[in-house]
C-alpha cells in the first residue's frame, strides 16, 4: 500500500470512526481502535497545521508540536508506541524517535507535500467543547 493510499484511508478514519482503514481491520486484537482514531486524528491535525503554516510562510511552533516533531503526550505514550510499532503502514509515514513522532525520513519531499495536501483536502478538524 502506498503512502498516498494510507493517507487517504487515515484521513477518512479521522473524519469518521466507522471508516476503519483496511490495514487496521486485522489488528483489532492488538490495537484499540478508539485510541487509534484519537491518535491518528492528532497526527493528522499536526500535519494539517504544518501545511497551513507553510502556506503562510511560517514555521509552526506550538507546545505539543512544531514543524518537525509531534511531542507524545505522556499519558498516551504507550498507546502511540503500540499503534505505530504494530502498524507497518502507519510507520511508512510516522516514526517514533525518542519522545517524539516525526515523519519517516525515507519519505521524499514530493511524498510529504502530497501527504499534507491530502490531509488538508480530506481531513476535517472538529474541535469539541
27-46: pLDDT as tens digits: 888 888 999 998 999 889 88
Distance CA 22, CA 26 (A): 8
Of residues 73, 70, 76, the one with CA closest to residue 93: 70
Is the predicted pLDDT of residue 50 greater than 90, yes or no? no
pTM: 0.84
68-116: pLDDT as tens digits: 666 677 667 888 899 999 999 999 999 998 888 899 999 999 999 999 9
Is the predicted pLDDT of residue 65 greater than 70, yes or no? no
Is the predicted pLDDT of residue 9 greater than 60, yes or no? yes
CA 78 to chain centre: 16
DSSP bridge partners of 100 = 71, 97
Confidence of residue 60 (pLDDT cuts 50, 70, 90): low
pLDDT of 63: 54
Look over the chain and give the mean of its residue pLDDT values, rounded to a whole number: 85
pLDDT of 76: 79
Amino acid at each position: 500500500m502506498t503512502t498516498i493510499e494510507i493517507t487517504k484511508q487515515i484521513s477518512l478514519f479521522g473524519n469518521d470512526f466507522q471508516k476503519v482503514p483496511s490495514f487496521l481491520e486485522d489488528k483489532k486484537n492488538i490495537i484499540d481502535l478508539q485510541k487509534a482514531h484519537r491518535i491518528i486524528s492528532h497526527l493528522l491535525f499536526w500535519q494539517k497545521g504544518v501545511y497551513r503554516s507553510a502556506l503562510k510562510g511560517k514555521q509552526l511552533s506550538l507546545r505539543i508540536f512544531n514543524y518537525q516533531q509531534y511531542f507524545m503526550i505522556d499519558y498516551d505514550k504507550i498507546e502511540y508506541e503500540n499503534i505505530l510499532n504494530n502498524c507497518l503502514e502507519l510507520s511508512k509515514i510516522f516514526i517514533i524517535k525518542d519522545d517524539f513522532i516525526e515523519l519517516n525520513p525515507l519519505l521524499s519531499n514530493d511524498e510529504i507535500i502530497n501527504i499534507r495536501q491530502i490531509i488538508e483536502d480530506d481531513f476535517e478538524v472538529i474541535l469539541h467543547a
